[in-house]
Chain A
Amino acid sequence: MTIFSKKQTEVKQMIDTYLDKVDSCIRQFRDSMMRFLVNGCTREFIWDVEKAHKFESEADDLRRKIQMTLYGKALLPDSRGDLLTLLEFYDRIPSAAEDALFLTRILCMDIPEELLEDLEKLVEINVDAYRLIRECMNALFENPHETLYQTRGVDAKESESDRLERSIVERVFKSDMATGKMMLLKELVQTIGEISNRAENTADRISIVAIKRQI
Chain B
Amino acid sequence: MWQIISAVFLGWSLGANHTANVFGTAVASRMIRFWTAAIVCAVFVLLGALLQGQAGMATYRAMAGVSLNAAFLVALCSALTITLMTYLKFPVSVSQAVVGSLVSIGLLEGNFHWEVLVKVVICWIGTPLGGMIFAIILYFLVGKFMNGLNLNLFQHDRYLRWCLMVVGGYGAYALGANNVANVTGTFTGPGMLTPFHACLIGGLSIGFGVLTYGKKVIMTVGKEIVRLDGYTAFIVILAEAITVHIYAGIGVPVSTSQAVVGGVMGIGLVKGVSTVNLKRLYQIFYAWIGTPAISFTITFLLYLMFSRLGLL
Contact = CB atoms under 8 A, between A and B. Distances in A.
A214 B229 CA distance: 13
Contact of A144 (B150, B229, B230): B150
Nearest to B160: A76
A215 B154 contact: no
Contacts, number: 60
Nearest to B143: A215
Contacts of A47: none
A145 interface: yes
B152 A144 contact: yes
Contact of B29 (A11, A12, A77): A77
A76 B29 contact: yes
Interface of B is mostly: helix
Given A142-B152, A215-B139, A215-B144, A75 B157 contact: yes
B226 interface: yes
B158 A4 contact: yes
B156 interface: yes
A53 B61 CA distance: 78
Interface in B120-155: 139-140, 142-144, 146-147, 150-154
B147 A8 contact: no
Interface in A53-82: 73, 75-79, 82
Contacts of A144: 150-153
A83 B153 contact: yes
Report, as a range, how many residues of chain B touch the other chain.
Answer: 20 to 34
Contacts of A78: 229-230
B74 to A, nearest CB: 42
B267 to A, nearest CB: 11
A172 interface: no
B30 interface: yes
B162 interface: yes
Contact of A79 (B30, B156, B162): B156
A141 B146 CA distance: 16
B238 to A, nearest CB: 14
Given A213-B156, A215-B143, A215-B144, A76 B161 contact: yes
B150 A79 contact: no
The 10 closest A-B pairs by CB, nearest first: A215-B143, A79-B157, A76-B230, A78-B229, A77-B29, A8-B154, A75-B157, A4-B161, A73-B30, A145-B150
11 contacts: A4-B162, A76-B31, A77-B226, A79-B153, A79-B230, A140-B152, A143-B152, A144-B150, A215-B144, A215-B146, A215-B231
